[in-house]
Structure 1
C-alpha cells in the first residue's frame, strides 16, 4: 500500500547533500470552482469519506448527505488531478465527468417529473360542443314527448384542464304547457387527470351513498357505464321516476339523466315506465357519443 502524502517541509529543513536528489514538496490540494464537495477531497467532519492514496484513482463514492448530484457507483469513479503540475488538465477531466453525471441526473429527473406520452389525455377524438342542446341526440324521447322546449338551458367551458358542455331541457307531452319531465345531458373532457378511479367509485357505488337507488352495469357503451334508477311512485299519483346513464370512455365522461314528477303530470297522463326510459337513455347516449367525435 502506498503511504499517505507528507506535508510540505518547513523552511529550516536540512540542505540536501551534493549528489542526492532534493526532496519534493507534497502537492497541495487543487482549487476548484465546483460548488459541491470533491469526491476525492471530502469536507472536514464527513465521516463517510475514505482516505485517498496518492497515485491511485478514488474509490466509488456513495451519495454524500446534502449533495443532490451524487450518483450511485455505476457511473464509475471520478478521476482526480495528476499528482504533479497538471492541475488545469485534472480539473478539466473532473468537470467533464461531473457534467456527464449531472446531465444524466437531470435527464432522469425530467422523465420522472414530466412523464412520457403514456400520461397524455386519452380523449379518443371527442369534443365538447358550445351548445349541448343542439349537439345531443334525444330523439328516442320524441314519441312520448313530441313538444319541443322553446328555451332550453345550455352552457360550456373551455380550459387547459377541462372542456365541458351541459344542456337542460323540458320534455312535454302533446298539449302540455309546462314540462312533464326533464332531461339533462353533460359531457366532460378531462385533459389533465384520469377520471377513471373516481368515476368508478362514484357511480358503481351510488347505491351505497344514496338510499333507494338501483345500480346496474351497462355493457357495450364506452369503457364502463352504469345505470342508476329510482321509482318512488309505488303506483300512486305522487312520487317520481328517475334514471341516469353515466359513461366513461377513456378520459371522457358523459351523463344523461331523466326525471319526472308525478305531481306535475296531468292526472290523465301516466309517465313512461323506467324500463322504457332506460332503453331510450342507452340508445340516445350511443348516438350522441358518436356525434361528439371529431
Structure 2
C-alpha cells in the first residue's frame, strides 16, 4: 500500500511571506497554523477537481484537433481517376450495335482544378448504309447520331445531395419536354430522360464522388424535320455502355 507522501517543510498551499509583510492573525509568520488549516477544510478534493478539469480540457483539445484533421481530409474517390481523353475511355460498343459505328475518334476536352476534374467528349455514330441527304443544289446534308459524354470527379465536395436537383435543372435549361425516371442497378443513383418525340435519351449517374452522363441525339430527316431514328428505346444499351465507362475510369 502506498502511503501519503510526507510533506517536507511548510504546507504547500501556505501563503508565501515577503520581507516586511505582516503575518495573519494566529500565525507565527511562517505560514498557516494547524488550527487555521483545520478550519479551512481539506484541500485534497480541490486538487483532484483541478486535475479532472485539466484532463477534460486536454481531452477536448485532442478531440477537437482530431475532428479538424478529419474534416480537412480529402474524400475517398472510390478508385475513380481523372482521364486525359474521355473519348478513348468511352468505347460505346453497345450503342454502336444499334445506332452505327463511330466516326473518327471524337472530340475530347478536359478541365482540371484542385476541387474537381471535368472531362467531355462528343462522338458521331454513322448507321450502316447511311447516305447523306442532298439539297436542291446538290450539297450533302449530313445528319448523324450524336453522343455527348461528360464526367466530373469531385475532389472536395459530395455531389450526391445536389444530384437530383442538378439533373432536373439541366433538363429544364434544355427547354425540351422529356420524361424522366429512376434507373436501378447502376451507381448510387441514376436517372434516364427521354424526349417525347424520340429524338433524345440521356442517362445521368452519380457514384460516390463521380458524376457521369451520356446523352444520345438521333439524326433528323431533312425534308420532314422529324427525327430520322427513335433513340428512346436504347436505354438497356446505354446502361451497359455507362457501366463499361465507369469500370474503365476506375481501372
Equivalent residue runs for 1:1-294 within 5 Å: 23-24=28-29, 56=43, 59=46, 77-78=49-50, 103-115=58-70, 121-146=75-100, 148-150=102-104, 152-173=106-127, 174-176=130-132, 178-203=142-167, 212-232=177-197, 241-260=199-218, 262=220, 265=222, 271-294=228-251
**RCO (CA 8 Å, sep 6+): is it higher in 1 or 2?**
2
CA contact (8 A) 1:128 1:187 kept: no
CA contact (8 A) 1:204 1:226 kept: no
Deviation of 1:245 after TM superposition, in Å, equals 0.2
Unaligned runs of 5+ in 1: 15-20, 28-52, 61-75, 80-96, 233-239
Deviation of 1:229 after TM superposition, in Å, equals 1.6
Q: Distance in 1 between matches of 2:88 and 2:70?
A: 38
Deviation of 1:136 after TM superposition, in Å, equals 0.5
Structure richer in strand, relative to its length: 2
Q: CA RMSD in A?
A: 4.1
Deviation of 1:231 after TM superposition, in Å, equals 2.6
Unaligned runs of 5+ in 2: 1-13, 33-39, 133-139
Deviation of 1:269 after TM superposition, in Å, equals 9.5
User: Are residues 146 and 13 of structure 1, via their aligned partners in 2, closer, same or farther at CA, if it must alter by over 3 Å?
Assistant: closer
Aligned residues: 218
Deviation of 1:249 after TM superposition, in Å, equals 1.5
Q: What TM-score does the superposition give when structure 2 sets the normalisation length? A: 0.67
Q: Distance in 1 between matches of 2:228 and 2:250?
A: 33
Q: What TM-score does the superposition give when structure 1 sets the normalisation length? A: 0.59
Q: Distance in 2 between matches of 1:195 and 1:12?
A: 71
CA contact (8 A) 1:206 1:215 kept: no
User: Are residues 211 and 259 of structure 1, via their aligned partners in 2, closer, same or farther at CA, if it must alter by over 3 Å?
Assistant: closer
Q: Distance in 1 between matches of 2:69 and 2:22?
A: 62
